[in-house]
């Protein structure tokens, strides 16, 4: 396994070293950027060997932190220290520039996407059709370690790492699995989509599908990957086999206004992708069934020729117009209803995808995080539970009446909520609050908090995920000197602790591919 990890590290980091720059003379900041930064981050700040330097891509990096990185470099990357070469004023001006919005939405079309395509594993390369390691391939976890841009493949039975491998900078939106669980697809904030062969422990292909990417979805038949972008305002369809681009769809309304794509998910029973638009009050359904009828007018690009073609061919867009925006959403078990959060909070919308309109409004306070919603059976009805990004509350919604039946007070705003079919408990974090170190456990039978865990007092605890059988719950200590902490889901006792570099999400293969009601999809 050590040899496999070393090979992966060499593949991902075999980049030319950053040249040493002479001390820059004072001049305009654009010239300073061109002289010192463009060779790695691109002349237009859209990224190259290094990540894009745009406000949208730097959301996790505060300006004070950016000044520190420019002056002193960044460990575990090829970002050098410019402090010995530039004055404090020059560093300040560079930081101001990279947080300056672009004058117009940049383009990233089919030609740029195709030019970025990288094949990591040749089609004729020898590969095993069975896992090259001894572990249940359905009880594996991919653990994303944001601290040094790596991921760990974790055995969910023994809780031992199988391999740790490098990823692109700043993964975003959660990895997604192929239907058979063999491949995992990653999306980085900078738009890089990577396909990793879990069974053979190696990357297959990569492509840059956007400049700032929100998330990706894999079709239920395993044939396509849909990428939703903040920049440019597009969705991109990729061939799931080799990540070649098939179609670019511009997110635009009837009046020509374009929009960021706030979320895209697969609705497998419908054989379609569902997308929400951040700046246009619409939900789009995009069938990937080859027999889907054309319904959308306009031009997109054919990946084979790079020329414009009518959009009424494969992957047509069906619009559902709403009276408010959706930032994120959740499906019911039948994938007939979409439950979305309004931008201004305080309410949610229920959209029937068959009749193609909103059918109900849900009373939800603050900013519910419906992308992390889960469901379970409660007193003869199925309920939806959602954490909240602004208030210390978990809302419980009856999925027949669409009424909020209870608000469970928690220690503070949280981001993630998880459960499993084989446990009567739901786990929620409070990572957006002063009690960021707390994980609270809710009894699904009584809708009451019955336990509070603090895996590492004073440090952020977040993102619970269960093993395939629901017997164990894994919690992230979201710090550079962090860990994944394994708990017995029945006794709430700690079983094991694995040190990791700022682990964020942990994604169980079985729970994801079977669409467990206790985890996000």
pTM for the whole structure: 0.83
User: Average pLDDT, stretch 90-115?
Assistant: 84
Sorted by sequence, the CB contacts under 8 Å of residue 396 that are 6+ apart come out as 378, 383, 384, 385, 404, 405, 406, 407, 408, 447
Of 353, 343, 350, 333, whose CA–CA distance to 404 is shortest? 350
- Whose tokens are 């009276």? That residue is 323
| DSSP states along 254-270 | TTS-B--EEEEEEEGGG
Asked if residue 403 belongs to a domain, the reply is: no
Cis peptide before 232 (omega within 30 of 0): yes
Asked if residue 493 belongs to a domain, the reply is: no
Asked if residue 317 belongs to a domain, the reply is: yes
Q: How many helices (H) and strands (E) does the chain have?
A: 7, 35
Residues 297-310 pLDDT 10s: 344 444 444 444 44
Contact 264, 217 (CB under 8 A): yes
Residues 239-281 pLDDT 10s: 999 999 999 999 999 889 999 999 999 999 999 999 999 999 9
Asked if residue 422 belongs to a domain, the reply is: no
Q: Are residues 115 and 86 in the same domain?
A: no
How many distinct structural domains can be found in the chain?
Answer: 2
Please compute, for residue 436, the number of CA atoms within 13 A of its CA located in the half-sphere on the CB side. Answer: 12
Asked if residue 415 belongs to a domain, the reply is: no
Q: Are residues 205 and 173 in the same domain?
A: yes
Q: Which of 323, 355, 382 is the last residue of a domain?
A: 323
Q: Are residues 114 and 262 in the same domain?
A: yes
> What was the pLDDT predicted at 521?
77
Q: Which of 62, 82, 98 is the last residue of a domain?
A: 98
User: Given 3-state DSSP classes, what are the helix, strand and coil percentages for the chain, each rounded to the nearest 5?
Assistant: 15, 40, 50
Contact 399, 330 (CB under 8 A): no
Q: Are residues 160 and 228 in the same domain?
A: yes
Asked if residue 494 belongs to a domain, the reply is: no
φ and ψ at residue 218, rounded to 5 degrees: -110, 130
Asked if residue 295 belongs to a domain, the reply is: yes
**Does residue 68 carry a pLDDT above 60?**
yes
User: Average pLDDT, stretch 155-172?
Assistant: 95
> What was the pLDDT predicted at 170?
87
Q: Are residues 298 and 157 in the same domain?
A: yes
CA distance 37 to 73: 13
Residue 491 has a CB neighbour count (10 Å cut-off) of 8
DSSP class of residue 290 equals T
The residue among 122 and 380 whose pLDDT is bigger is: 380
Sorted by sequence, the CB contacts under 8 Å of residue 514 that are 6+ apart come out as none
CA distance 73 to 83: 9
Instruction: Report percent pLDDT > 70 for the chain.
Output: 87
Q: Are residues 124 and 247 in the same domain?
A: yes
CATH of the domain at 45: 1.10.760.10
H or E element, residue 503: strand 503-508
Residues 415-467 pLDDT 10s: 999 999 999 999 999 999 999 999 999 999 999 999 999 999 999 999 999 99
Q: Are residues 23 and 149 in the same domain?
A: no
Q: Are residues 87 and 125 in the same domain?
A: no
DSSP class of residue 71 equals H
User: 230 is in which domain, residue-wise?
Assistant: 105-323
H or E element, residue 512: helix 509-513
**Does residue 192 carry a pLDDT above 50?**
yes
> What was the pLDDT predicted at 49?
62
User: For residue 238, what are its two tokens?
Assistant: 């990729």
Q: Are residues 166 and 304 in the same domain?
A: yes
Of 367, 361, 102, whose CA–CA distance to 230 is shortest? 102
CATH of the domain at 300: 2.140.10.20
Q: Are residues 137 and 225 in the same domain?
A: yes
Q: Are residues 179 and 85 in the same domain?
A: no
> Starting at the edge strand that comes first in sequence, how are the strands of the sheet with 393-398 ordered?
374-378, 381-386, 393-398, 404-409
Q: Are residues 128 and 52 in the same domain?
A: no
Q: Which of 288, 323, 358 is the last residue of a domain?
A: 323
Asked if residue 455 belongs to a domain, the reply is: no
């Amino acid at each position: 396994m050590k040899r496999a990890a070393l090979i992966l590290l060499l593949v991902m980091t075999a980049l030319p070293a950053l040249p040493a720059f002479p001390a820059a003379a004072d001049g305009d900041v654009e010239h300073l950027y061109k002289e010192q930064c463009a060779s790695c981050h691109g002349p237009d700040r859209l990224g190259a060997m290094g990540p894009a330097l745009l406000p949208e891509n730097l959301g996790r990096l505060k300006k004070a932190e950016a000044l520190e990185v420019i002056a002193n470099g960044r460990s575990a990357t090829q970002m050098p220290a410019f402090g010995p070469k530039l004055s404090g004023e020059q560093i300040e001006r560079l930081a101001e520039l990279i947080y300056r919005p672009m004058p117009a939405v940049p383009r990233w079309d089919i030609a740029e996407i195709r030019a970025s395509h990288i094949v990591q594993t040749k089609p004729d390369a020898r590969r095993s059709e069975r896992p090259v390691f001894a572990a249940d391939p359905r009880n594996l976890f991919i653990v994303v370690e944001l601290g040094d841009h790596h991921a760990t493949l974790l055995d969910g039975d023994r809780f031992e790492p199988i391999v740790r491998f490098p990823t692109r900078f700043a993964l975003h939106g959660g990895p997604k699995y192929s239907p058979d669980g063999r491949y995992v697809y990653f999306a980085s904030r900078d738009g890089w989509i990577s396909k990793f062969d879990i069974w053979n422990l190696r990357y297959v292909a990569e492509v840059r599908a956007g400049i700032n990417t929100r998330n990706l979805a894999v079709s239920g038949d395993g044939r396509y990957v849909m990428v939703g972008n903040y920049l440019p305002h597009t969705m991109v369809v990729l061939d799931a086999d080799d990540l070649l681009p098939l179609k670019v769809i511009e997110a635009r309304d009837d009046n020509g206004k374009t929009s960021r794509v706030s979320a895209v998910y697969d609705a497998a029973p419908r054989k379609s992708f569902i997308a929400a638009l951040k700046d246009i009050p619409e939900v789009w359904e995009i069938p990937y069934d080859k027999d889907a009828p054309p319904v959308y007018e306009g031009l997109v690009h054919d990946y084979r020729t790079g020329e414009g073609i009518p959009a009424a061919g494969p992957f047509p867009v069906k619009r559902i117009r709403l009276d408010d925006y959706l930032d994120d959403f959740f499906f019911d078990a039948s994938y007939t209803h979409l439950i979305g959060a309004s931008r201004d909070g305080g309410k949610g919308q229920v959209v029937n995808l068959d009749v193609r309109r909103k059918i109900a409004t849900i009373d939800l306070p603050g900013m519910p995080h419906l992308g992390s919603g889960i469901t379970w059976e409660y007193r003869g009805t199925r309920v939806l539970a959602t954490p909240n990004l602004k208030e210390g509350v978990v809302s419980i919604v009856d999925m027949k009446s669409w009424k909020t039946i209870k608000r469970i007070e928690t220690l503070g705003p949280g981001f993630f909520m998880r459960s499993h079919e084989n446990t009567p408990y739901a786990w929620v974090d409070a990572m957006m609050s002063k009690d960021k170190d707390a994980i609270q456990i809710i009894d699904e039978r009584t809708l009451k908090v019955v336990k509070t865990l603090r895996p590492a007092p004073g440090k952020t605890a977040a993102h619970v995920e269960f093993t395939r059988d629901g017997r164990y719950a894994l919690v992230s200590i979201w710090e550079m000197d962090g860990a994944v902490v394994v708990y017995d889901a029945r006794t709430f006792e700690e079983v094991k602790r694995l040190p990791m570099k700022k682990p964020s999400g942990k994604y169980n293969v079985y729970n994801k591919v079977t669409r467990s009601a206790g985890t996000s999809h």
